[in-house]
Amino acid sequence: MKIIMLGAPGAGKGTQAKMLADKYMIPHISTGDIFRANIKNGTELGQKAKTYMDQGLLVPDELVCDLVVDRVQQEDCKDGYILDGFPRTIPQAEALDAALANIGSKIDYAVNVEVPDENIVNRMSGRRACVACGATYHIVHSPTKEEGICDRCGKELIVREDDKPETVTKRLNVYHEQTQPLIDYYTKQGALKEVDGTMSMDEVFNAIVNILG
Ligand code: AMP
């Protein structure tokens, strides 16, 4: 099963993608995580990506497409995968479709986790991330046992640069301009499935599982 998760930043698609990857036992491929790992490891890709990410802008298509196209052709992806945060532009979707068509494959479902902008801004202001291991939390929806300290590794939590309110507003604008057109794109392919992302995490998960079967 080849699934794309669509939705605004902060709609909860990353959380759902992880839960779905566990349930269906297929890899969870998050381009945001890949970039953050590259930043942490000080790679050239990471340095390039960071300048865009910190401003709430998209990393240029040419830095993303080959990376994902290579990744989905690896052995562990043969039974499917969940793409989280890719594609984010029409050219990225076209690059993915072209690469998949070459190997006689295609996307089965594009799941759009729909959340209004005002909910997103509220949610993102509560997000916290671990500086050391990258685990993410929410001060209301998934708090740590001890405030400000990572449950997993005990290190300090921060508000990620791209989760700061001014950056969130910028990211939402970028989302509406560049990513939302993908909803039409996958509707035309007959792959789009809509889910109400304002429900609880478990309700959203069950709704998606009902769709995927
Ligand atoms: P995410 O964790 O998916 O919200 O991604 C964090 C940031 O990484 C985004 O705001 C972008 O700057 C960058 N990014 C992640 N995926 C992509 C993509 N497919 N295309 C362009 N930029 C991306």
- The predicted-structure confidence for 98-151, as pLDDT tens digits, reads as follows 999 998 999 999 999 999 998 998 888 899 999 899 898 999 888 999 999 999
CATH at residue 37: 3.40.50.300
Cα 6 to middle of ligand 1, angstroms: 12
pTM of the model: 0.88
Please name the residue ranges forming H helices in the chain.
13-24, 31-40, 44-53, 61-71, 90-102, 117-125, 165-174, 181-188, 201-212
Whether 171 maps to a domain, the answer reads: yes
Catalytic: 88? yes
**């007959």: which residue's tokens?**
190
State the total domains in the chain: 1
Whether 172 maps to a domain, the answer reads: yes
Mutate which of 50, 113, 162 for ligand 1? The one with the most ligand atoms within 8 Å of its CB, which is: 162
Q: Which numbered atom of ligand 1 lies nearest the CA of 57?
A: 12
Whether 181 maps to a domain, the answer reads: yes
Residue 7 to residues 148, 172, 175: CA-CA distances in angstroms? 28, 10, 8
**């669509």: which residue's tokens?**
6
Domain span at 78 = 2-124+167-212
Q: Which of 13, 36, 123, 128 is catalytic?
A: 13
**60-82 tens-digit pLDDT:** 999 999 999 999 999 999 999 99
Whether 54 maps to a domain, the answer reads: yes
Whether 118 maps to a domain, the answer reads: yes
Cα 162 to middle of ligand 1, angstroms: 10
Whether 150 maps to a domain, the answer reads: no
Whether 147 maps to a domain, the answer reads: no
Cα 155 to middle of ligand 1, angstroms: 25
